[in-house]
Amino acid sequence: MAINTTVKKTVTNGIATVPTVAPAMDISAIIAAAVADAVAKAMAPKATTVDPLVVAEIARLKAENAKLAAAKPVVKVKRPLVFKVSEKRAMSIYNLGARFPVTLYKEQMLTLLDAEKEIRAFIKANDSALASKGE
């Protein structure tokens, strides 16, 4: 059903308003035109400006990152072993490179110390199969 009045699309401050005073259109055509106009405005690319100070700061940070990446890695200082008696009266050894200490009761520690030659021989025989920290 067509409306006999004329309707015209108006724009206020860059925002489409309900069409008024244009050639005879039915209400569905008016709605379709308004929706199409709103979609076109929403999909239009927004103009952006780039602050030269931001560009300069990004370039400076990239150069600093490259300089830091090229620098030699910091070598950790090997800390001496620390021995303590645990709450359960066992022997704890700190600074072996693990997050937690190695804790053994004195009989276990003495058994381990007595097996020093066998442990060293095992390590030598299986050197290629054993991993080192950092591998």
Q: Is residue 23 assigned to a domain?
A: yes
Average pLDDT for the chain? 82
Q: What is the DSSP letter of 130?
A: S
Find, among 42, 5, 13, 6, the residue nearest to 34 by Cα.
42
Q: Is residue 3 assigned to a domain?
A: no
Q: How many domains does the chain have?
A: 2
**In which residue are the tokens 């209400």 written?**
27
Q: Is residue 57 assigned to a domain?
A: no
| pLDDT over 60 at 69, yes or no | yes
Q: Is residue 66 assigned to a domain?
A: no
Which residue segment(s) compose the domain that 121 sits in?
Answer: 82-125
Least confident of 3-17, 46-60, 74-88, 110-124: 3-17
Q: Is residue 22 assigned to a domain?
A: yes
Residues 123 and 112: beta-carbon distance below 8 Å: no
